[in-house]
Structure 1
Amino acid sequence: VIEIPATLDSQQLDRGEKIDLEYTDWGPAGADYVGQEDEDIGLTIYTSNFGATIELDQKVYTWTDKVYITIVAPDHNFDSNLVDEIGNTSTDPIKVSTRGNQLSQYKLVESGADTGIFIGEVTLKGFAFDADGDGTNDITGTAAALTTGNGPTEGGLATTDNDGLTVSFEFSEDETVVGSALIRWNIGEVQWLEASYPASGTGVVRIIDADMNLNPEAIDNFAVDAWSDSDAGGIDLTVTETNEATGIFEGTVFFTVSNDSSGHRLRVAEGDTVTAEYEDNTLPEPYTTADELDITATTLIGTIVPPLERAPAANLRTVDAFGNSLNSVSVDQQVQISADLANGQDREQSFAYLVQIQDGDGVTVSLAWITGSLSSGQSFSPALSWIPTQSGSYTATAFVWESVDNPTALSPPVSTTISVQ
């Protein structure tokens, strides 16, 4: 067994280096005795040169993310019984850099004995900036102060809001492999977890913004605004990260109909719209660091009813002046076109009741409407008059809208046929 040394004549062997082995046979075939003749037998081999690959856990990072680095380099598994290291010498340097800062000779360690897979972490540190808009910088220090560490896990690297990350590894002399990713800010999102809440219930606001994960090894928090129709001044709501490095923040609002707003308690009334607003100060291009964007989401206090079930119309019919149903109508007879409306919501609903009558050719011969409002749970049967001037078959269609000027339907249209003799 021949073990290839790391150095030969004080010279370190490179990957892929040629090695010539030579053996002299002093008793080749055909010789009468040993030493009568000799034969040189040679063999050429090369040191292993599998190269290396670099993998980063993301393609795009935000300014304060943690970067997980994996380098696969089987040739650097020097001792199958030990956990090897790479990157921290001048012969196999690893450099982790952004466009303005770098960590040189950064050490990575083997994931286990005899794996040839080397791992490490670098935490992006951002730059001095007031991310939550409270007037105080959430990140402080110069780029030089933020860029520290030798590996494998304690490294910190200053970044900007629009930056790039590069990891390079010189795995053999004059042979380097590179991995890279982008560093970008994001536009946040605001959500209420439910479309509506009871007046004395609790609501949860969720903010999704990876840029506010300022410390990936801690649970971060910041404040957003929340207000209602009943209290336009509202409250400052603290939202807290759901876990380390999630970039998802939640806060609970306690609704009240009798107490003043205070802390996380917000005064509301039935039918109120409640708004949560997040001021995003970490915006991607084309925004600049001087820009901010107010992002809002709303929820309702009370029961949510599907749009076409807010005041559904039913039982459209033709009746006389006393409300009796008519199967047929005479020319010049005054009749009423009536339907039953019901407000299934827990708040008042304004409406416009329109009736369109068309003849057998589809020509509209009458269009009339009335307006009104229904209190919570109220039922009502509006009616509109019509006097036919000719015999024939007519179709009456009733519409229920929010108003004549706002034709948002509160009910599907309903129709009935009228026979005029």
Structure 2
Amino acid sequence: MKTVLILLALCLVAGAAEAHGELYVSSEVFGGPMIVEIAVFGMADAQEPTVTLDGMNLRMIQGTDGHWYAYVADTNNVRVIDGATGIGGTGLDFGIECGPEFLNYSFDPETIVFTSGKTCDSETSPGFLHVLNGARPAASGGSFDTDHWPFIQTFDFADDAEIHVKYGSLQETMLFDGDLADLATLELDRGSYPVNSDVRLIIQDGLLNVDPTNEDTWTFDVDGSGEVYSCIFDDAGKITDTNGTVIKVDPGLIYHYGDALRDAGFGKSGMLETSPPEALYVTDNSLQDSTLLPSIAGSLVTIRETAPNSGTFTNTDRLGAANLRAGADFTIAYGISSETAHIKAAPADPSRILLADLRVSDFDGIAGMPAVISGRISNHQGMTQDFAYVVNVTDKNGSVISLGWLAGSILPGQILKPATTWTPAEPGEYTVTALVWESVDSLVALSPPAEITVIVR
């Protein structure tokens, strides 16, 4: 709901009055299109505090929690990314660009403002900004139309420049690092993998942490095309429009930031690639549903920030399932960092039946709720094969919590998707292992086992 308020003149007093409260910046080092949150805590009953950034005045807006907030970023890098956003209200849409005359010249003359409003007019309606998704709402009684909030105050920062944020006698110093991409790292959860097992990535890259108020998500086309997408999937792994409803997106409208990242300070960062192409295969988890993107389906890997403003990303969802599986020895690279892993020796004759795509579905991760454990098995022999599909669930101590199986026959070339159910009684970390045997009486493996980790809260 829009609340139109009376615009007040901004009274900014020169000098360093004694500060009350606490000055906070969300990142002491930033670069690219990263947004920095600047806040003054503990001033709920005071007027707008006087905060400067290298001597330039910042507008501080009081949130519903009583604290005062401003968001700042680099003008050029924001323009590059915002200009590459093809669908309004999606991806990294920074909103509508306004000059220093915005809100009756109440900003510093050096400031460019990107607003949540649909226009730069004093009175507006909600627009298409799609960053700062976790920002506190503006408190009523302020000096502007709250449909403009949150807005981002941008400036021209020089590479490797120190930027001083001052509030009275308090000061925080930030570095705008033009080489932040060189600090990005990639780690694997292990050095060798069973065939068809999850491959879990940990990527550390502050540049991917564009939104300090929310968990950023990025989706990479790992086939070497260089296509990179941001915030294209919602919390359920679906594509959403600006109103939050699931839609089928026309592939012709899908845009990516691959080329724009190079021009927005990412350097060699922002690129995830695997080799050889057939060594790893992607599979959807709750971070993504690649069937909604048929033009690029089959090579998408989505990563999510582990916590807002952490700069740490993983390709596992909240149930512990990854969206990469090991097929052969592989190398995976992110920026200038790369890792190589090997495949563990498989049981004899592993190609008789292929077990793949083990996943947990229809489950919200809460103890006491049933979960469906499913897989995909395919017969690569020229004969019908009897089999037993066995699912074993163990806790962190290795104790068996659940054991179930299905038995049947599979025709040559046939694909089956067997499923069993399991209801976890207690929160914790569990390992789900699926096996395909000749029968429950003949424990001869027809396929290497598959394994996933499930987190229950």
Question: Per the shorter chain, which TM-score range?
Answer: 0.3 to 0.5
TM value normalised by structure 2? 0.35
TM value normalised by structure 1? 0.37
Structure showing greater relative contact order (alpha-carbon pairs closer than 8 Å, 6 or more residues apart): 2
**Which structure carries more helix by proportion?**
2
Rg: which structure is higher? 1
**Which structure carries more strand by proportion?**
1
